[in-house]
Amino acid sequence: MLAAGAGGYALVARGALTLDLGVGRRIRPLGPIELTIGAPPESVFDVIAGPYLGRTPRAMSDKLDVWERGSDMALAAHMTTTGRLTTTTVETVRFERPHRISFRLLRGPVPHVVETYELSPAPDGTAFKYSGELGTDLWGLGSWWGDRVAAPWERAVASSVDAIAAEAERRARP
């Protein structure tokens, strides 16, 4: 019984099994993460959209696998290592050039996540804002699980945003 519980935990934590029961749903916020990026919004947008809508760089192949591409939307698997486990999430990513990128979770360690990146012109480049929500089922138990998932989720997003900012600013240098 203990082995089955541990195996089930590992499947859920890795994103291989999504429990979407629709009972006792609790929603909690993700973010916000706000910063100014020293590059124009169009450049920041291109840095974010490039690996999804164009060719994914080989250096990102261990973190991103685009399953389907369109002109303004992609279906992609994201691989994130947290501790000893690698969690795989499958998400749709919608692009509204040049001001918004929206993510919707289809498969992962929780049944519900929606997120947005908002880009707007700022005196020093781009005002960037990340926000979202994470939902879990089963009342208090789900809320506890959501707290376990949200912290590494937000750290992964913050790390990604730092990389986006660095690349956009590198490209914006004369």
**How is the chain split into domains, by residue range?**
2-172
pLDDT at 2: 62
Phi-psi region of 20 (alpha: psi -120 to 50; beta: other; left: phi over 0): beta
Q: What is the mean pLDDT of residues 79-89?
A: 89
pLDDT digits (tens, 9 = 90+) for 85-117: 899 999 999 999 999 999 999 999 999 999 999
The pair of structure tokens assigned to 87 is: 């969690």
For the chain, what's the residue count?
Answer: 174
Can you give the pTM of this predicted structure? 0.93
Please tell me the predicted confidence (pLDDT) of residue 97.
96
| pLDDT (tens digit per residue) in 8-62 | 777 887 777 788 999 999 999 999 999 999 999 999 999 999 999 999 999 999 9
138 confidence band (pLDDT: 50, 70, 90): very high
| Class for the domain spanning 2-172 | alpha beta
DSSP annotation string for 85-143: EEEEEEEEEEEETTTEEEEEEEESSSSEEEEEEEEEEETTEEEEEEEEEEEESSHHHHH
Query: In whole angstroms, what is the distance from residue 133 CA to residue 112 CA?
Result: 8
